[in-house]
Every structure is written in C-alpha cells, then in structure tokens.
Structure 1
Amino acid sequence: MSKPSYRILITSLEALGHINATIGFGEMLSSHGHEVIFVQRQKYKGLADSRGFKFIPLDEEILGAVFENAVSDWVDTNMETFRADPLTRIKNMTEQDKKNMALNEESFVKLDLALTKVLHENPGAFDAIAADACDVVNCLFNSGLPVIPLMSGNPKLLYKGGPPAASGLSINDDPKIWDEFAEIYQEAFKEMQNVFNKLLKKGGRKEYYYGNTWVLPLRHFGFYQYPSDLDYSECEPKHDEKWFRVDSYVRSADDTNDFELPESLSKKSGKLIYLSLGTLGSNDLLVMRKLINAASKSSHRFIISKGSRGDQLELADNMCGENYLNQIKVIQMVDLVITHGGNNTFMETLYYGKPMIVVPYFFDQFDNAQRVVDKKIGFRVNPYDLDEDYFLDCIEKALSDQEMQNRVKAISQNMKNSKRQLQAVKMIENLIEEFKSK
C-alpha cells in the first residue's frame, strides 16, 4: 500500500527570514512526497516554481503598500533606539519609543483578510497548515484545519531557565542581570503585546501574550530549527514541551540570481569572506559604512550583501557585492561569514560548516551572537561600539583557529545526519490522519 500524499499550505509573515525558513520547511515536506502549496505575495512566486510547489498569491489589493513597507518603516522609525546594547535600549525607551516599537496592527489585519480569502476560495484544498510568525492571524486557527506553528528564530524564548530571550546575555552571566533585563523588557514591549492581544481578542481567541513570552500555547505541536549541539538544554524546561526541534530545514540554493566572483577579485590574494547584515541591519547605512570601512583595511576579500539601500554604499577594492545575492551559493564559496545573526543565515552558515562573526542588530540576533561565543564557534562584534582593531583581529582568529573550525564542521555533520526531519514529517502525517478519522 502506497503512502498517502497530503496537501499542506505553508505561509509566513512577509519578511525574508520567515519566508526562507518556511520554504526550507516546505522542501522537507515535498521531499517526503507531500504536495506543498506556498501562499504569499505574487513577487515570491519564483521561490515556489523553482521547487515544484503550487503557488497561490495573496490579494495585492487587500495588502496594499502599508504591508509592503511595514518592516522598513518600522526600522527607520526605531533606528536610533537600535544603536545601543539591549539593556541600554530598553532602559532609555520613552513612551513614544514603546509605541513605535509596536508592529503595525493594520499589517496583520490585512494579512488575515488576504489569507481568509485564500481559504474561502479553496474549500477542501488543504489537509493542514504550517505557518511561521502567524500566531495572531486568526483565520488560520479558526479554519478547522490542523495548524502547525513554525518558529524560525533562536529558540531561547521557548525555555524557562537561563537568560531572557533577546537579551544577548550569557548563560554564565549573573542571574541578577537576567532578572533586571526581564523586568524592564516586559514593560518596554507592553504596547506590542497589547497589539497582539487585541488581534487575538478580535478573532475570538484568548489573550495569551505576556512577559517575555512571544509564542502561544500549542494546540498540537510546533517546530523550530536549531542544531542539537547548540540548543538550550541547560535552560530546560520549555514553556511548552510540544515544541519539537528539527536540527535543520535549511532551504536549497535558488537557481535564479546566480553569483560568480568577479575576475578582479578572484585574482587577489587572501581568504574569501561574506558579509551580510540581513534585511533590518542593512537598512542602517551608518553601521554598514562602518563595517565596510573596517573591512577595507583587511588583507582578505569580501562579498557584501548590500541590501535594499545598497546603491548608497561604496565598496573598496577588496570587495564586490550586490543589493541581493544568492546567499546559499555564496556561503558555500567562502571561508568565513560575518552575519547579523538572524536565524536563517545563522543556520545556513552552520549547515555548510563555516565559522562566523556575528554583528547582532535586533532581537534574537543577540542570542545567536552570544551562543556563538559561549560554544566557541566564532566571535561577537557589537555594531553600536565597533572597534576596528578588534573586528579585524576577530577575522584573523576565526580564519586561523583550527579547533574552532573543527567544532563548526562537527556541528554541520550532525545537522546533516540528523533523523529529526523524518520524525517531524511523521508527526504531521499522524496529525492529519487523526483529523481525517474524526
């Protein structure tokens, strides 16, 4: 008897970190014989087509410009707030800062309306839904289908013990500092939590957001990706034990937007280094220029992901770059990755066995940066007090430390050999079968 194939809708908040992780999760499902239906804005159709996914576009008239600009507008509004360490940021936040930090409620309302339309126009078309960063999108959870939340960020927020999530504090720090951060953080982000609770209430759901907890209680189970070698076992238990770790569901490289090293750079000596601050960090041109200026003094070569404002950046002779790069292919080419520590780039870098320097800019990036230090697989460089000599010294040490490189390669091999993907797919299959038997 052949194994049944199920139809699974995958979607996420419109931000590349969430989208790329969701695509990787979809590839995992597809590789086990299931039909994946990717629901997102029309401009992401190529991501589905190149992977053999079915694609359903969200209604652009519903989403409009307010949704498309929500993240970049939010970064610009809070730029000065972001240029400080996490504790200083939240200590110095004014009441207006706290209001600014709250994500745009209208964006989530529009996403809910657009996804509601997809569900209504495709009755009976899906057997389950997997969604990243869509906890407050009520139509998914009120659809009557099994919904599987995905968590594409650093998993520290899933654990009760240890330093608070988004603090960038070490497991070795004084717990008194943990407590101080947690108390101030809760007050600083109260406005954002109020927005989320308001959305839940509007959908007839319980208002669950409180304190430093940014994920809802699970109906069934949820998945996050993080290597077993780095997961926070010393901070157990989890807030909800139904969160299941998959060591990796890193997406494959896109066939479009290929990248070749320019001849002018390939002829130069030195190791090859990739530098990317992701969607959020690359919008901060002050920080980008500081890093580019420091890297120009290195004897090594750099590939720079310049971001949406890259046309305003000038690169040095030991660099090449584009606004948007085929990141997976670039990571495989280089000897070292300098990253903002967003969980996608973090996971991709580990999967391909590269040491890293993390320049954290926001939220869970601080936790990944500190995890790199605590596990001795790279270095942390803070953008708000960037010291050029220290930055350049970290580059040299990361490229020459063989023990560090061996640790990273071991993590990479364990990620690739893990059986957790197979277990995750089986869990989903069993859940769908259970729903169908009712």
Structure 2
Amino acid sequence: MPTYRFLAIALDASGHVHSILGFAEALKAAGHEVWFTHRERYRSLAEKRGVSFIPFGEDFVDANVEQLMINLIETFADKFRKEPLECLREMAKFADAGLGDTGAQMMAFFEPLNKIITERINEFDAIIADMPGPILNLYNHLIPCFPLISTAPLVLYPSGPPCSSGYSVNSDKSKWSEFKDVFNKANAMLFKMPSHISEAMGFPEFDPDAFDIEEFLGKVQSFGFYHYPADLDFTECAPIRPNWHRIDCWVRKPDVDTEFVIPEKLQDKPGKLIYFSLGTLASVDTSMMKKLIAILAKSPHRFIVSKGPRGDALELADNMWGENYVNQIKIIEQVDLVITHGGNNTFMETLYYGKPMIVIPYFGDQYDNAQRVVDKNIGFRVNSYEIEEEHLLDCIEKAIKDQDLKNRIKAISQKMRNSKSLTEAIKMIEKQIEKFEK
C-alpha cells in the first residue's frame, strides 16, 4: 500500500483538536504522513504525535473561537444553565446582545484555514476534517475529503431524538419537532459566515428560516466516520444518514513524555479516587463550579479537579487537589469514578478506560451523552440546572458500589479496545484515494 499525505483540519476547540489528532495517530501508525493546520498554540500537541504542523499565518489575529465561547458563557451563564429547549429560546432572545456577532467571529476562523488549503492543496492526497459540513464540498473536485464527527451521533439519525436535546429515545416524540425547529433557528445565527468570507470561499448563502443543522452537517463527498462504541450507538433510531460509518474508538494515546502521580495531599486520605472535570467551557461558570465543589467537599472520597481557565477563582476543599489544566488521560486511567460534563472526548476516554461516570451536561451533545448513560444503565445524569446535594452524593455512592454497572462499562471498554473498525476505516480511505487518483 502506498504512503499517502493527509491534511488534517479541525474546528477551533480543544475537543475537536484532540479528536483529529487521535485519528491522525492511527493514520501515522498505518504508514501515512499527516500535516495538521491550526493556531500556533496546538503545535506541540501535533508534533508530540509525529504530526507535522502548519500554523495559520501571522496576519491571522481574529479572536480565538474557544475564547469567544468562554466570554459568551461568562456573560450569559444563567441562561446556559437551563433546560436545553429553554436555553435555545434564550439564545434566540439575546442574539441582539452579541450572539450574532460572536457567530460571525467564529466563522472568521475559516478564512485562514481556506487560504492554507487553497494554496497548498496540491501537496496532499486527501483531507480529514473534524468539521463536517459544506466547507469540504469546496474541494470535492480536487482531492478526497473525509469528514469526522466526534460528537454524539444523533445528528446522523433523522428518526431519533433531536441532537443536543438530551431526550431519551423513549421520550415523548411530541416535543421533538418543536426542539428541532428552535435548535435550527438558534444555530443558523452561529453558522452564518461574514459576507466577505462567503464570497472568498464561494460559500452559498443560506436561508436562516430554512436551515437544518442535521442536514448541513450530514453532507459527505464519499463517506465519513463518527466516533461512538457499538453498544451505545443509536441503532434503534435507524436508518442512519447515507455514507456514514461508525468507528468504535479513536481515542488519542497519552503523551509519552508525561506521567501523573497521585498528589501527596491525597495519598493517605480515605475513600475512592474521583476525577471531576466540566471541560474548558462549562468550567467557566464559576458559580456552578463553586456549588459543586462545596457539595463534593461533603463526600468521604478524594477528588482530582480540573479547574479550567478560570480556576484561579476557585478554592478547593481539603479532600481535593487540582490545577487549571491536568493530565486527563493519565488521571482517568487511575481513578475509580469520573464526574464529567459529557463532552465526547472525555466521554470516550472514560469508556475506553472502563470507568463509571456521572454526567453533568451543560450544552450541546453533552446532553445526548448524559441521557445515553442513563438509557444504557452505565452511570447517572445530573442536570446543571437542578443540582441537589443529596442526589449528587447519592449518585456517587451508587456508581462506586454498583458492580453490575461497572461490569457493563468494562465490557464496553473491552470491545472498544478489541475493535477493528478504525483499521477498516483507514483501509476504506486508502481505497477511496486510490480510486480517486485513477
């Protein structure tokens, strides 16, 4: 099999970057060459994995998308901390307060990305992208483009509950159409590109009133892949959108040059070891973080806390140790339980290492993962908008003591580790490139 050259691209958020680099690792292991283009801040993550790095140009100074989301959450935390449908309604209401401008700034990220692809596309045999949607259609006639979906895959199941709703597959379907309508209108503001970028990229204008995010994200040139274990997939909602294939696992490997030793502060304390992280964005809601820390302080267990970008404003209890950013994979390997926001990277890493979990979703597909945990009886869901001390502490004890629950998670973990789906996916990609070149 010949060696192919891949250009890897991802949305401007840590979760999507970690996802694409996990897939890049697999391509490297199969003997291919991979280049990743993004902000300079991600260079070391790529190069540690043997992936070459192409930075955005020095003239790119627009706001960091992840920082824009952090600012948005800090400003509107009380509105995010609501039931998903109500949160979406609020998004529509405060569009005039800056959400529309934030969306335009987010889409500005595509300008330097498109510039690099346009100028260097002849250097590569294919594109892999953790950013499904029409952007890849611009290059369809030039080289093969393979989109990846690293979020919960409900977006690919038109007959299932609406993505990001947190509705169970067994829930009242009368609410589904209302949620989809509100969801599409709210997201239309975020996906609208500034006119000069649309024109430069040949990107067609779309009607916000007719925008369907699931259709928008589901378009593929030939085929794409999503990241979800077979035992949790939404197969009861089949059929899936055409030409999408599941990969059970493409979890990134731990950095080989780092280790994690349980801090001395926690080593001699009693209780199980629990990892608590709400991810980069939800942890910005310091009011909620302080409330959760106060509750966990009453637990008889020990906690390793990822405090997030506003961690300096948080004071941890005596049964806790934490930093703003921690070595997550190395920590998950060692703990007894994970309390997470349910972002798909942390979700998949927790499953891969066979740990029970409590999911406290904050927005997006986190709600879908949280409900899937409940429907598949592998953990617990605690909503950010209705946190109660007794309930959370009770969930911790149940998750730690329920051996049947642990066995179900370990079985999922073993299947993820033994799956050949990633190997088969790379073979599919190789054959498609070969076919494209003929």
TM-score (norm 1): 0.92
Runs of 5+ in structure 1 lacking a partner? none
Q: Deviations over 1:45-89 (max 9, x none)?
A: 111221111111111421444556323223234322201111222
Question: How many pairs align?
Answer: 433
Q: 1:408 and 1:104, CA in 2 relative to 1: closer, same or farther beyond 3 A?
A: same
Distance 1:94 1:160 in 2: 23
8 Å CA contact 1:259, 1:330 repeated in 2: yes
Aligned to 1:189: 187
Structure 2 letter corresponding to 1:89: C
| 1:173 is aligned to 2:171 | yes
Q: In structure 1, how many angstroms separate the alpha carbons of the residues matched to 2:269 and 2:415?
A: 34
Alpha-carbon shift at residue 184 of structure 1 (Å)? 3.1
Letter in 1 for 2:57: D
Measure the CA separation in 2 of the matches of 1:184 and 1:122. Answer: 39
The equivalences for 1:31-50 within 5 A come to: 31-50=29-48
Q: Deviations over 1:85-136 (max 9, x none)?
A: 1122234555334774455323333x33322443355453211111112635
In structure 2, the CA distance between the partners of 1:139 and 1:308, relative to structure 1 (3 Å rule), is farther
Q: Does 1:361 align with 2:359?
A: no
The one-letter code of the counterpart of 1:181 is F
Q: Which amino acid aligns with 1:215?
A: L
Q: State the partner residue of 1:232.
A: 234
Identity of aligned residues (%): 48
Contact kept? 1:150, 1:222, Cα under 8 Å:
yes
Q: Secondary structure at the match of 1:224?
A: strand
Alpha-carbon distance between aligned partners in 2 of 1:189 and 1:38, rounded to the nearest angstrom: 27
Q: Report how far residue 14 of structure 1 moved.
A: 1.8
- Aligned-residue offset at 1:344: 0.3
SS in structure 1 opposite 2:222?
coil
AA of the residue aligned to 1:332: E
Alignment correspondent of 1:108 = 107
2:145 aligned to 141, 144, 147, which one? 147
Query: What is the distance in 2 between the residues matched to 1:51 and 1:6?
Result: 17
1:53 aligned partner: 51
Q: CA deviation at 1:332?
A: 0.1
Residues of 2 paired with 1:98 and 1:336: CA distance? 41
Q: Which moved more, 1:72-81 or 1:227-236?
A: 72-81
User: What is the RMSD computed on CA atoms of the aligned residues?
Assistant: 2.3
Letter paired with 1:386: I
Using the TM superposition, name which of 30-39 and 404-413 deviates more: 30-39
**1:248 equivalent in structure 2:** 249
* Matching residue's letter, 2:299: S
When residues 207 and 142 of structure 1 are mapped into structure 2, their CA distance, relative to the original with a 3 A threshold, is farther
Q: What SS does the corresponding residue of 2:232 show, helix, strand or coil?
A: coil
Structure 2 unaligned runs (5+)?
A: none
- Bigger drift between 199-208 and 428-437 goes to 199-208
> Does the residue aligned with 1:189 lie in a helix, a strand or coil?
helix
More displaced 10-residue stretch of structure 1: 253-262 or 416-425? 253-262
Seen in structure 2, the aligned counterparts of structure 1 residues 42 and 199 have a Cα distance that, compared at 3 Å, is: closer
Structure 1 stretch displaced more, 76-85 or 167-176: 76-85
1:18–1:152 Cα contact (<8 Å) kept: yes
Q: Quote the Cα distance in structure 1 between the aligned partners of 2:353 and 2:397.
A: 20
Q: Does structure 1 residue 131 correspond to structure 2 residue 129? A: yes
Distance 1:197 1:227 in 2: 39
Q: 1:231 corresponds to which letter in structure 2?
A: D
- Conservation of the 8 A alpha-carbon contact between 1:350 and 1:411: yes
Decide whether the 8 Å contact of 2:136 with 2:145 is kept in 1.
Answer: no
Deviations 1:262-311 (A, max 9, x none): 11201111100000000111111011111111100000000000001101
The answer on whether the counterparts of 1:41 and 1:60 sit within 8 Å (CA) in structure 2 is no
Aligned to 2:305: 304
1:364 is displaced (CA, Å) by: 0.4
8 Å contact kept, 2:140–2:221: no
Question: Separation in 2 of the partners of 1:67 and 1:390?
Answer: 35
- State whether residues 132 and 219 of structure 2, in contact with CA within 8 Å, keep that contact through their aligned partners in structure 1: no
* 8 Å Cα contact 2:185/2:211 also seen in 1: no
Q: Secondary structure at the match of 1:104?
A: helix
CA contact (8 A) 2:104 2:192 kept: no
CA distance in 2, matches of 1:302, 1:113: 42
User: Which residue number in structure 2 is paired with residue 15 of structure 1?
Assistant: 13
Supply the distance in 2 between the matched residues of 1:151 and 1:196 (Cα, whole angstroms).
24
TM-score of the superposed pair, with normalisation by structure 2: 0.92
Query: Does the aligned pair in 2 maintain the 1:166–1:365 contact within 8 Å?
Result: yes
Asked if 2 retains the 8 angstrom alpha-carbon contact of 1:156 and 1:232, the reply is yes
- 8 A Cα contact 1:257 1:325, kept in partner: no
Taking the aligned partners of 1:293 and 1:138, their CA distance within structure 2 comes to 46
C-alpha distance in 2 between matches for 1:141 and 1:374: 40
